[in-house]
Structures are given as structure tokens and as C-alpha cells.
Chains A and B, each alone.
Chain A
Amino acid sequence: AQSVTQLDSQVPVFEEAPVELRCNYSSSVSVYLFWYVQYPNQGLQLLLKYLSGSTLVKGINGFEAEFNKSQTSFHLRKPSVHISDTAEYFCAVSGSGSARQLTFGSGTQLTVLP
């Protein structure tokens, strides 16, 4: 069984400041890790993914995440946020392999303040 814990339910940050959204996971098997973003009244959009290889993963919109196997973490970072980054962010895990089900965390609401 797999589980995901997003440590902060809400993160307010001022525009152009850096941000880190924290995610920890547990699994007894090899996993793939993901970050999704959800804007109001929309579905989920993939920001980035870790499948294997380099532990630093770069995604869309200037986001990046680092996979830390020893700490079972996959924290999302952005060096300078914009108002348009305001959204709900979900960390997710799946077993390795094709088309596996995703297990999501409870989400972090990022609010960028002017």
C-alpha cells in the first residue's frame, strides 16, 4: 500500500518570493512520483514527474522537485512565484509500471499575495 502526506494545507507567499511545498510518501515498492496543479473549477494538470535517474526534476512553469529516497520526500520548489501560480497542488505516487493507479495527498493551497 502507498500513502502520501502533504505537510501544509495552506501556503501563503508574496509575489516574487520563493516557495517550497512539502510532500512525503510511504511505499513498500519502487514508485513513480508526481506533482499536479488544479486551478479552480478545472481538472488536474501534470507539473512534473520522477520516474528514475536524476533526483532533481524540472517541470513546467518554472517548478522543480527533488526526490530524496532516504527521507521519502518529493518537495516542490519555485524560486520566484507569480500571482498566476495561485492554485491547489497535489503530490501523488504510483507503483512503477504502465498505467498504474495514482494515490494523491490531500493537497496544498498556494496563495500568492501581491
Chain B
Amino acid sequence: DAGVTQSPTHLIKTRGQQVTLRCSPKSGHDTVSWYQQALGQGPQFIFQYYEEEERQRGNFPDRFSGHQFPNYSSELNVNALLLGDSALYLCASSLALGSTYNEQFFGPGTRLTVL
């Protein structure tokens, strides 16, 4: 089991550009959540996808959008990049149904630097 995988590992962009980050969930998982972790901070919830729809959203502007594919993999898109978007972007996968609690498994993250 490969666990949660993310690509690319590192990315450098300039202000105003657009970026796409990718996540493959752990085998058997159907829900993907995205978090932004700025340097020296805890992760902040961006949004969650289940059944190819955004189910929950944190306090992030519309510049942040996402997509989930039929194979449960997901993309995070950020438009009009700002310097403040520089962060580690974490993807977490889980199983939506079943028990009352389903652990979220985190990937290694994508380090985005905006210059």
C-alpha cells in the first residue's frame, strides 16, 4: 500500500501565476481533504471532496478550487498566486462511510514557493 501520494514535491511559481497540485488517496479511501501549512504554523483546512463534490470548505478565497476524479484522486488549483500562498500543501484521505470515525491519513505534502 503506497499510502497517500502527492505531486510534485516542490514547486516554484511567480506572483499572478496559476498552480495545480495533485493527490492520490490511500487505497480504499474515497474522501480527500486539503490543508495549507504556512511556515511555523499548523495546517489550515481548505476543503474536502467526496463523490466528486466539495463537501466542506474552510475560510479560503475562491482563488482556491479543487476537483475530485472518479478514481478518487484530487487536484488543488490556486489562481492569481500571492506571496502569502507560499506554504506546504497537505492532502489527507479517509473513508467517508462506515464507522463513526475514520482516520485521515496525510501525504508528505507539496512545498509551494511563490516569488
Contact = CB atoms under 8 A, between A and B. Distances in A.
Most A Cβ at <10 Å: residue of B35, B45, B92, B101: B101
A102 B102 CA distance: 12
Contacts, number: 71
A98 B50 CA distance: 12
Q: Which A-B residue pairs are the 6 nearest by beta carbons?
A: A104-B42, A43-B106, A44-B106, A101-B45, A43-B108, A106-B42
Interface string B78-97: 00000000000010101111
A51 B107 contact: no
A101 B101 contact: no
Contacts of B109: 42-43
B5 to A, nearest CB: 10
A103 B48 CA distance: 13
Interface range on chain B (Cβ under 8 Å from partner): 20 to 34
Nearest to B101: A51
A63 interface: no
A6 B43 CA distance: 13
Interface of B: 4, 31, 33, 35, 40-45, 48, 50, 56, 58, 90, 92, 94-104, 106-109
Contacts of B31: 99
Find the residue from A97, A101, A106 having the highest chain B CB count within 10 A.
Answer: A101
Interface residues of A, number: 26
A96 to B, nearest CB: 7
A98 B98 contact: yes
B48 A101 contact: yes
B107 A43 contact: yes
A90 B44 CA distance: 12
B104 A107 contact: no
A78 to B, nearest CB: 20
B45 A99 contact: no
Contact of A43 (B41, B90, B95): B90
B45 A103 contact: yes
B90 A107 contact: no
Contacts of A104: 35, 42-44
